[in-house]
């Protein structure tokens, strides 16, 4: 059982995960932010490795990715920055990014490195289920890496069941079909979809992401899921002059 599976074993409600982009706002902030987030009470975090063409992302994460790349961020450098991660950070860590970067690094090499530095799972939004099953799943398993799948309001029940089978940590429930950084849709439709998901009695817990920006949206997500994920709102609040302080101030609202 990796740290991520352990967390969901022990905690069933009110789980808070934070996404941020590696190498942003300053190139060497990656580990600093991880430490500050643990201090401030995050349950786990997702570290984005930047990509030049992030089609699933809205302006905020496009911007942080571009700045990180301009500052020289690479996946290789991220693994170097996380070399001593587990000396100071205990909470689960996921890496999140696009498939081409993983492909160029080499899937085997990527999984090995994740295991070495103590990464527990991955979210690769543009890695399709078929390719994951055929080409990646064995390697992920061998190195104890959980692959996280996304589900949207348009995902069919049959496909959700399949995703539940292939998942071993949690399922990432998108609040709506949208790029990142939009506001949470708490319309009747969204509530019906969250309820439908909850009532499917899936073996994996659900985390709601996309559009969670404050205490209010976090709380409404918590009515339906084990917790929620905040990305764009957190990234937007990072102050390059006072990274640790800005993490603390943001987290105060939640913890």
Partner 1 sequence: MTNYFVNDKGYYGDFGGAYIPEMLYPNVEELRQQYLKVIKEESFQQEFRALLKDYVGRPSPLYLAKRLSERYGANIFLKREDLNHTGAHKINNTIGQILLAEHLGKKRIIAETGAGQHGVATATVCALRGLECVVYMGEVDIKRQAPNVARMKMLGATVVPATSGSKTLKDATNEAMRDWINNPEDTYYIIGSVVGPHPYPDMVAYFQSVISEEAKKQLAEQTGKQSPDYVLACVGGGSNAIGMFYHFIDDEQVQLIAVEAGGKGVDSGFTAATTAKGKEGVLHGSRSILMQTADGQVVEPHSVSAGLDYPGIGPQHAHLFKTGRGKYVSITDDESLDAGLRLTQLEGIIPAIESAHALAYLEYMEFKGGENVVVCLSGRGDKDMETYMKHFNL
- Chain residues in the site for partner 1 (CB under 8 A): 51-56, 58, 62, 66, 69, 74-76, 98-105, 125-128, 130-131, 149-152, 154-156, 159, 174, 177-179, 182
CB of 18 to partner 1, least distance (A): 20
231-237 CB contacts, 8 Å cutoff, 24+ apart: 231/18, 231/19, 231/20, 231/46, 231/60, 231/61, 231/180, 231/181, 232/58, 232/60, 232/61, 232/180, 232/181, 234/18, 234/19, 234/20, 235/19, 235/20, 235/21, 235/24, 235/60, 235/61, 235/64, 236/60
CB of 111 to partner 1, least distance (A): 16
| CB closer to partner 1 out of 48 and 125 | 125
CB of 152 to partner 1, least distance (A): 5
| CB closer to partner 1 out of 66 and 112 | 66
Residue owning tokens 């074993």 = 9
Residues annotated as part of the active site: 46, 57
CB of 192 to partner 1, least distance (A): 15
| CB closer to partner 1 out of 66 and 198 | 66
| CB closer to partner 1 out of 6 and 104 | 104
């Amino acid at each position: 059982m990796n740290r991520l599976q352990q967390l969901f074993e022990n905690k069933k409600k009110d789980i808070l995960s934070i996404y941020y982009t590696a190498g942003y706002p300053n190139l060497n902030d990656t580990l600093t932010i991880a430490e500050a987030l643990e201090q401030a009470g995050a349950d786990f975090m997702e570290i984005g490795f930047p990509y030049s063409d992030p089609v699933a992302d809205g302006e905020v994460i496009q911007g942080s990715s571009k700045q990180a790349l301009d500052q020289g961020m690479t996946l290789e450098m991220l693994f170097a920055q996380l070399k001593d991660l587990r000396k100071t950070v205990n909470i689960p860590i996921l890496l999140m990014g696009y498939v081409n970067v993983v492909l160029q690094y080499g899937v085997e090499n990527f999984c090995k490195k994740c295991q070495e530095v103590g990464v527990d799972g991955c979210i690769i939004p543009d890695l399709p289920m078929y390719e994951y099953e055929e080409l990646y799943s064995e390697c992920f398993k061998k190195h104890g890496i959980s692959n996280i799948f996304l589900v949207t309001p348009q995902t069919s029940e049959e496909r959700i069941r399949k995703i539940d089978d292939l998942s071993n940590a949690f399922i990432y429930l998108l609040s709506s079909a949208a790029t990142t950084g939009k506001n949470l849709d708490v319309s009747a439709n969204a509530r019906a979809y969250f309820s439908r998901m909850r009532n499917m009695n899936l073996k994996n817990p659900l985390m709601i992401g996309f559009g969670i920006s404050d205490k209010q949206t976090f709380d409404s997500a918590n009515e339906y899921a084990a917790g929620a994920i905040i990305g764009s709102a957190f990234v937007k609040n990072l102050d390059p002059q006072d990274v640790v302080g800005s993490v603390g101030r943001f987290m105060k609202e939640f913890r």
